[in-house]
Amino acid sequence: MQKAAAPLMIPVRSVRPSPLASVHAAEGFAARMALRRSVRDFSPDPVPEGVVEAAIRAAASAPSGANVQPWRFVVVTSPARKRRLREAAEAEEREFYSRRAPAEWLDALAPLGTDWRKPFLEVAPVVIVVFEVHQGPHSPKPYYVKESVGIAVGLLIAALHHAGLATLTHTPSPMRFLNEVCDRPPEERPYLVMPAGYPAPDARVPMVSRKPLDEVMVRC
Ligand code: IYR
C-alpha cells in the first residue's frame, strides 16, 4: 500500500483574548445558554431569511471522525411536507405511548407532559431533520458517526438559540419513516427532528432545573 501524502498544513487562525475577556466571554455564553429551553408550542411566524442557513453552517463546522462530516440537514418548510411529517410521526408516537413504551419510560416522561400529539411539526415554520450519512455510492465510510452528528446538533441548537430561535430535539421512535418523508436514500439514517421558530406567545415549558456544577463536574 502506498503511504498517503503528507497533508498540507496551514497556520491556525486564532487571537488569544485577555484572561478577563476570556472569562467574560465564557460567563456570557453560559448565561445565554442557560436561558435555552426545549419548546413545544411554536408561533407560526416565519424566521428571518438566512438564519437557518447560517446556523447549519455553524453546525457543519463541527469536528467529525476523520473529518468525514457524516451529516445531512434537511430543511422542511413546505406546509404539505410538514403535514406528512406530523402525520407519520404521530402514527409512530401513538404506538409508542399506547403500546411500545414501558411504564418506566412513561413515568420518566411524565414531568415533561409529552404525549403522542406533535402539532409543532406542522406549526413551527421550519423543521430541520438531521440524518447520519453512512457509507454509500456517494459517501465514504464515516467514523464515530453518532458522536460527530451529536456534536454538530449541539452546535446547531446553540447557533439557533444565539439567533433568538427556540428549538425542540424531537426523537420519534422508530424514525425510518423520515427517509420517505424527506426523500433521502437508505445510507442516510435519521438522527433527530428539530422544529425551530419563535415560541408561541402563550408557550409554557415545564418547571425543571439543571444540575448544579458541583454535581456534573469533578476534578481529579
Ligand atoms: N419520542 C417521544 C417520547 C419522548 C422521549 C424522550 I427520552 C423525551 O425526552 C421526550 C419524549 C416523544 O417525542 O414524545
Strands 71-76 and 166-167 turn out to be unpaired
Residue whose CA is at the smallest distance from ligand 1 atom 12: 172
Q: How far is the CA of 125 from the centre of ligand 1 (A)?
A: 21
Regarding the beta carbon of 38 and ligand 1, being less than 6 Å apart is answered no
Q: Which three cell numbers stand for residue 127?
A: 423543521
Local confidence band at 1 (pLDDT 50, 70, 90 cut-offs) = low
Residues 218, 198: Cα–Cα separation, whole Å: 36
* For the chain, percent of residues with pLDDT exceeding 70: 100
Nearest to 85 by CA among 204, 203, 195: 195
Q: Is 97 left (phi over 0), alpha (psi -120 to 50) or beta?
A: alpha
Residues 71, 143: Cα–Cα separation, whole Å: 12
Over the stretch 53-104, which tens digit does the pLDDT of each residue have?
A: 999 999 999 999 999 999 999 999 999 999 999 999 999 999 999 999 999 9
* Class level of CATH domain 39-199: alpha beta
Which amino acid makes up residue 189? R
pLDDT at 173 over 90: no
Sheet holding 126-133, edge to edge: 71-76, 126-133, 188-197, 166-167
pLDDT at 2 over 80: no
DSSP structural state of residue 111: G
Contact at 8 Å (CB) between 149 and 172?
no
Regarding the beta carbon of 72 and ligand 1, being less than 6 Å apart is answered no
pTM of the full predicted structure? 0.96
Over the stretch 19-35, which tens digit does the pLDDT of each residue have?
A: 999 999 999 999 999 99
